[in-house]
Amino acid sequence: MRLEYAGVSKEYIKDGVNVDAIPASARERRVKAIYAKKSSNMLDWLDLPLVDQVDVDKILDVGEKIADKFENFVVLGIGGSALGVRLLKDAFVDSINRDIGINVYVCDNIDSDNFVTLLDKLNLKKTMFDVITKSGGTSETLTQMLMAIDRMKRKNIDWSKHLVVTTTEGNDLWKFATENDIPTFAIPVGVGGRYSVLSPVGLLPAAVMGIDIVSLLNGANISRANSARLDKTNLAYTSAYINFEMLKKGMNSLVVMPYSDRLRLVPEFFAQLWAESLGKKVDRHGNVVYAGQTPIKTLGVTDQHSQLQMYSEGPRDKVIMFISVDRVSYDEVVETELPFTSHLTGVSMHTLIEHEYNSTAYSLTTLGRPNYTVALDRVEEKTMGQLIFYMEMMTAYMGEMLDIDAYNQPGVELSKIYTKACLHMKGYGDYAKAINEFKKNKSKFTLE
C-alpha cells in the first residue's frame, strides 16, 4: 500500500501541506500515547491483528461447519456490527459474482418490508442467524432476533440451533445465549463497534464466506507495524496530518473515492469511522469545539459523471482521498475495427480506469483541489487487512490531533435513549411525551 500525496503538496496546491515538515515531537508523542493505550481505554482493537489475540481456530471451525450445513447465513446487526461484514462480503463475493455455496445476508436496518419478506423467502430450517451487537441492547438488532426466533418457533424449528451470538461476555444477551446453549463469540470490552471488524464480528461471517481471515489479519498487522513508525513513512499518521492541516484551511469535507467496484463499500465503512469518531461537540478538556470533517461517499469512475463537477468547481471545502488499485484479477483488452472507437483498441478496461483516475487526480490538482491517493497493489485479503487497519489508525490519529474522544458516540446514544423512552423502557425518562408533541407540530404543508 502506498500513500501518494503530490496533490496536496505545496508544489502543486496553493496553501498545500509540507509533509517533510510534519512536527516530529508531536508525532512521536501521539504514536506512543496510542500504542501504550494511554489516550483511551477503548484501544484494545489495536491488538486484534495479532493473530493470537483472536480465537482464529474456533472461528474457522464454526465458520466451516455453518457453510457446510446451512443454505443461508443471516447477519443481524447495525452500524459497526454490520458495516465491516458488508465491506468484506462486497469485496470478496458480490462484486466479483462469486458463488460461495451459501447465501449471505446482512440485515442492518429495520425496514419491515425488507426483513419480513426475507424471513418469508428463506427456508429457516436451512438458515443460521448471527446476532451481532457489542452492547447486547440495541433495539434494532434485538427486534430482528426476536422476529427470527418467533418465526422459527411458529414453524416448530429448534431455534437455538439456528443462532450464534456475538456480543460482550456477561451481558443479558450473552446470558440468554448461554442459558439456551447458543454458541457465543466475545467482543472484547475495549473494542468499540466501528473498530471491531477484525474481531469475531467480522471474522466469523468472513470465515463462513470462505474469506482468508489469517491473511486479513496478517495484512492488518503490516499496517499495525507501519502505524507505529515515528517518522513520516507512517502512512496513517501522515494521512491524518494532511486532513488535519486541510481542515484548518477550511476543507470541511473528505471525499472518499475508490476506483474499484470491489472497494465500493470502503467509503461506507470509512464514513462511519470518520463521522462517528470525529464529529464531537466537546474536546477532551470539555471545551465546545464542534470538531470533525464530513465524509462523503463516492465511487470512481461512476461519480466522475455525477459529483465530480461539484468537487472541481463547487465550494473549495473538500479534500479528495482516492483509492486506486494497481492490478486486477480479471481483465480484457478491447479489439475493435470501428473507426470511431479506434482510440479504444488494444486498451484493457483496467487501463481505461487507470487513465480516468490519473486524469481526474491531475485535473483536480490543476484546479487547486487538494487530493491524495491510497494505492493498493491488488484487492485481496492481505491488502484489505492493510487498508482496514490503516483507516482505523488514521481515524485514531486524527482524534489525537483534534484532541477529542474518538471512541464514544454521545449523539448516537441520544437517539437510542429517546427511542427507548418512546418504548416506555424503565429508566429512560419521560421524553416520549415531548417527542409526540414534536411529531404533532403543525409546521408543515401538504401536497394537495
* Residues assigned a catalytic role: 276, 305, 416
Count CB atoms within 10 A of the CB of residue 250. 11
Contact 9, 384 (CB under 8 A): no
Segment interacting with ligand PA5 (CB under 6 A) among 5-13, 78-86, 356-364, 371-379: 78-86
Residue 146 contacts ligand PA5 per CB under 6 A: no
Write down the least CB distance from residue 366 to ligand PA5, Å: 38
Residue 133 contacts ligand PA5 per CB under 6 A: yes
Count CB atoms within 10 A of the CB of residue 102. 19
Residue nearest to ligand PA5 (CB): 193
Residue 304 contacts ligand PA5 per CB under 6 A: no
Widest pairwise Cα distance in the chain: 74
Residue 81 contacts ligand PA5 per CB under 6 A: yes
The nearer residue to ligand PA5, 386 or 409, going by C-beta atoms, is 409
Cα four-point dihedral sign 252, 19, 266, 330: positive
The nearer residue to ligand PA5, 183 or 202, going by C-beta atoms, is 202
Instruction: Spell out where 195-344 has E strands.
Output: 253-258, 280-282, 288-291, 294-297, 318-325
Segment interacting with ligand PA5 (CB under 6 A) among 49-57, 190-198, 239-247, 398-406: 190-198
- Which phi and psi (to 5°) does residue 235 adopt? -60, -45
Give the chain's radius of gyration (CA, Å): 23
Mask for 412-441, x = binds ligand PA5 (CB under 6 A): x-----------------------------
Amino acid sitting at position 228: A
How far is residue 305's CA from residue 124's CA, in Å, rounded to a whole number?
Answer: 42
Q: Using the 8-state DSSP alphabet, how is residue 230 labeled? A: S
Residue 134 contacts ligand PA5 per CB under 6 A: yes
Provide the grid cell at 341. 472507437
Q: How many residues interact with ligand PA5 (rule CB under 6 A)?
A: 15
Among 199, 226, 227, 409, interactor with ligand PA5 by CB under 6 A: 409
- Which phi and psi (to 5°) does residue 41 adopt? -95, 15
The nearer residue to ligand PA5, 132 or 149, going by C-beta atoms, is 132
How far is residue 411's CA from residue 414's CA, in Å, rounded to a whole number?
Answer: 5
The nearer residue to ligand PA5, 63 or 80, going by C-beta atoms, is 80
Long-range CB pairs of 355-363 (<8 Å, 24+ gap) are 356/259, 356/300, 356/301, 356/304, 357/259, 357/300, 357/301, 357/322, 357/324, 360/300, 360/301, 360/304, 360/308, 360/322, 361/7, 361/322, 363/312
Contact 312, 369 (CB under 8 A): yes
Among 40, 72, 127, 141, interactor with ligand PA5 by CB under 6 A: 141
Residue 400 contacts ligand PA5 per CB under 6 A: no
Segment 226-285, which members bind ligand PA5 (CB under 6 A)?
276
The nearer residue to ligand PA5, 78 or 256, going by C-beta atoms, is 78
Contact 205, 75 (CB under 8 A): yes
Residue 219 contacts ligand PA5 per CB under 6 A: no
Among 8, 62, 76, 78, interactor with ligand PA5 by CB under 6 A: 78
Write down the least CB distance from residue 48 to ligand PA5, Å: 15
Write down the least CB distance from residue 206 to ligand PA5, Å: 17
| Length in residues, the chain | 448
The nearer residue to ligand PA5, 189 or 334, going by C-beta atoms, is 189
Write down the least CB distance from residue 115 to ligand PA5, Å: 16
Residue 205 contacts ligand PA5 per CB under 6 A: no
Segment interacting with ligand PA5 (CB under 6 A) among 33-41, 101-109, 191-199, 262-270: 191-199
Exposure string of 147-177, with b = 16+ CB inside 10 Å and e = fewer, is bbbebbeeeeeebeebbbbbbbeebebbebb
Segment interacting with ligand PA5 (CB under 6 A) among 77-85, 114-122, 428-436, 439-447: 77-85
Interface with ligand PA5 (CB under 6 A):
78-81, 133-135, 138, 141, 192-194, 276, 409, 412
